[in-house]
Structure 1
Amino acid sequence: MKKLRLYLRLVRLVGVIALGTLFAATISLLERVVRHDLMGLRQRLTRWFMARLSAALPFRFTVQGELPREPMLWVSNHVSWTDIPLLGMLTPLSFLSKAEVRAWPVAGWLALKAGTLFIRRGSGDGNLLNEQLGRHLQQGRHLLIFPEGTTTDGKNVRTFHGRLLSSAIDSGVSLQPVAIRYRRAGAVDEIAPFIGDDDMLSHLLRLLSSDVADVEIQLLPPIASRDANRNELARRAQAAVSAALAGQPLIDDTLAVEDIAA
C-alpha cells in the first residue's frame, strides 16, 4: 500500500511538472514572437502552477494573516525546497535562489522561466544584486528572499542577513515577514527539512513516501523600511518570525485554501 501511494503521488507530481514545463515553453516562445518581457503573465501562471504543485505534495496547509496589497520584499525562514511552491501559491511572486538550483534538472529551468533571480554565495556582487532586486521591486512586483541564506531543520531561526535588504530601503517598499512551520504528529517535522547532504531525488522520494504533514504559514505585519538601516530591518524581521514560530499552532485561518488555489 505504501508503494502504491508513492507511485500515485509520483504520477500526479510528474503530470503537474509536465504541465508547468509546457506553460513555461509556451511563454518563452511567445516572448520571442512579441519581443517583449511577459513577466506579469509568467508570475500569474507561476502562481497557478505553484498551487497545483503544492496540492501534489503530502501536506495540509493553513495560512494566517493578510496578503499585502502593494509590492513588498517578502522575507521568510527557510526549511526546504517545498517552501517555494507553498509560498509561491499565495500570490504572484519572484524568488531569489542559490545558483546551484539553476543546475537542477527541469526544476532549475522552470525556476529560471518563472523569473527567479540566482545568487552565487561568496561572489561579492552584493551591490549589483541589490540593484537588480531594486529594479524588480520598483516595477511593482513581489519578491521573496530567504535571509538566513540556507535551510534549517525548522527547530530554530538562524541569523537573518541584512545585505540584500538594501533593495527594499532604496525602493521604498516594506518587508513582508513570513513564518513557515512543518509539523508531523504534533511535533516538528523531520522529513520535510532539506538540509545537509540531502539530494533532491532522495528527499523527494522520502517525502512522497511519508504520511501527510501539516504546514502552517503566517503572514506577519509588514515592517516599514523608511528611515531604517538594513541590519535593523534584518533584526526586526528575524525577531518577528522567531516569535511567530515560538507561538501555539494555528487554529483559525484568514485565507481559505480554496481561494489560494483558484
Structure 2
Amino acid sequence: MPSPATWHSDPPEMPPLGPGGWARVAGKGTALGAVVFGGLLILLLIRFVEKPVHGTHRPWTPWVTQGVCRAAFLILGITHRTHGARMSEPGAVVANHASWLDIFALNARKRVYFVSKAEVAGWPGIGWLARATGTVFIERVAQKAVAQRDVFRTRLTAGHKLLFFPEGTSSDGLRVLPFKSTLFAAFFSDELRDLMHLQPVTVVYTAPDGADPRFYGWWGDMGFGEHLLQVLGAPRHGAVDIHYHAPVKVGDFADRKTLARYAEGQVRSAFPEVAELS
C-alpha cells in the first residue's frame, strides 16, 4: 500500500464510465464482494479452530486466501500467469509494488504473509482482511526495531513466507523504484542470518488493449474507490505476470545493502525494456 513517503507522477486520465461500464461495476462488484467477504467469513470460522490447535502455524486458512485471490482474477477477467519456481526454503519474499491488485496477484499462487505499515490495520475493509490473513504490521521507527525483529523471527521459524515491498511505496507499474535496505537489516540478526533465504519476485502488469499502460497502477493520491471502479468497469482486461527468481541464502551476503542491491537487480531483470525507459 502507498506509504506517507509516496512516489509521485501524474495519474492517467480515466474515461468516464458509460451505462455498460456501470453495469459491469454492479455485476463484477457484487460477485467480487461476495467472494472476498464470504471467504473472509469462512477463514475466520476456520481460524477459530485453527488458532487454538496450531497457534502461529496456519495449515488450513491459507487455502481459503489462495482460493479467494484466484477467484478474484476470474471475476475481474485479468489473466494471471506465473513463471519460475516458488521457494520452498524458509525465508522471505521481496517484490516491486504497483497496485492494490498486488495482494491478489501474489497470494493467488504462493502462500505469503504481507509486511505492511501499521496504519493499514485501521483501514476499513482492507485492514480487516489484512489482519485476518496474517499480515505483519510494523512501525518504521528505530524504537520498534528489536520488537519487530522478534516478530519476524517467530513468524519465519513457524514456516511463514513474509513478503516485503522494499520500494517503500507503490509506483505506476512501469518501473522499479530503488529498494530501501532498512527492512533487510532484520534478516542479518544472529537468529535469522543462517536460517533465511530470500526470493525476489517481479510483478508485471499488461494494460488492456488501447488503455493507458499505467492502467493497473495505483499510487500517490489516487483514490482506491475510483481506481476500483475503473478496474471493475473496464470492457476488457489485460494480464499480470509473476516472475519467481531463484532464492538466495541471506548468509551469503555481506550486509543488508548488498542484499538489497542484488534483490533489486533481480526484480528489474524481468521488466520489459520499455517499462524501464518510461
Q: Which TM-score band applies after superposition, normalised by the shorter structure?
A: 0.7 to 0.9
2:234 matches 1:215: no
Deviations 1:162-215 (A, max 9, x none): 222234344221111000011123887322111111222222111111231211
Structure 1: how far apart are the matches of 2:274 and 2:174? 14
Tell me the residue number matched to 2:41: 22
Structure 1: how far apart are the matches of 2:108 and 2:162? 13
- Aligned counterparts, 1:31-42, within 5 A: 36-37=55-56, 39-42=58-61
Q: 1:90 to 1:215 in 2, by over 3 A?
A: same
Tell me the residue number matched to 1:258: none
- Aligned counterparts, 1:107-186, within 5 A: 107-122=126-141, 124-170=143-189, 171=192, 172-184=195-207, 185=209
Tell me the residue number matched to 2:224: 200
Matched residues, number: 249
Structure 2: how far apart are the matches of 1:126 and 1:139? 20
Contact 2:99 2:218 in 1 (8 A): yes
The alignment-based identity, stated in percent, is: 31
Q: 1:56 to 1:98 in 2, by over 3 A?
A: farther
What is the one-letter code of the residue matched to 1:29?
Answer: F
The Cα shift of 1:59 comes to 1.2
Tell me the residue number matched to 2:262: 236
2:91 matches 1:72: yes
SS in 2 for 1:215: strand
Structure 2: how far apart are the matches of 1:10 and 1:134? 38
Q: 1:112 to 1:166 in 2, by over 3 A?
A: same
Contact 1:102 1:112 in 2 (8 A): yes
SS in 2 for 1:67: coil
Contact 1:72 1:143 in 2 (8 A): yes
- Aligned counterparts, 1:240-259, within 5 A: 240-246=266-272
Contact 1:130 1:164 in 2 (8 A): no
Contact 1:159 1:238 in 2 (8 A): yes
Q: 1:45 to 1:169 in 2, by over 3 A?
A: farther
SS in 2 for 1:158: coil
TM-score, normalised to structure 2's length?
0.81
The Cα shift of 1:35 comes to 8.9
What is the one-letter code of the residue matched to 2:199?
Answer: Q
Q: 1:190 to 1:246 in 2, by over 3 A?
A: closer
Contact 1:43 1:115 in 2 (8 A): no
The Cα shift of 1:248 comes to 8.7
Contact 2:174 2:214 in 1 (8 A): no
SS in 2 for 1:96: strand
Contact 2:69 2:104 in 1 (8 A): yes
- Tell me, which stretches of 5 or more residues in structure 1 are unaligned? 250-262
Contact 2:115 2:162 in 1 (8 A): yes
Contact 1:71 1:142 in 2 (8 A): yes
Structure 1: how far apart are the matches of 2:124 and 2:74? 21
Q: 1:109 to 1:222 in 2, by over 3 A?
A: same
Tell me the residue number matched to 1:2: 21
What is the one-letter code of the residue matched to 1:103?
Answer: G
Contact 1:76 1:180 in 2 (8 A): yes
What is the one-letter code of the residue matched to 1:237?
Answer: A
Structure 2: how far apart are the matches of 1:133 and 1:59? 33
- Aligned counterparts, 1:48-87, within 5 A: 48-87=67-106
What is the one-letter code of the residue matched to 1:105?
Answer: P
Structure 2: how far apart are the matches of 1:60 and 1:35? 35
Structure 1: how far apart are the matches of 2:62 and 2:186? 20
TM-score, normalised to structure 1's length?
0.85
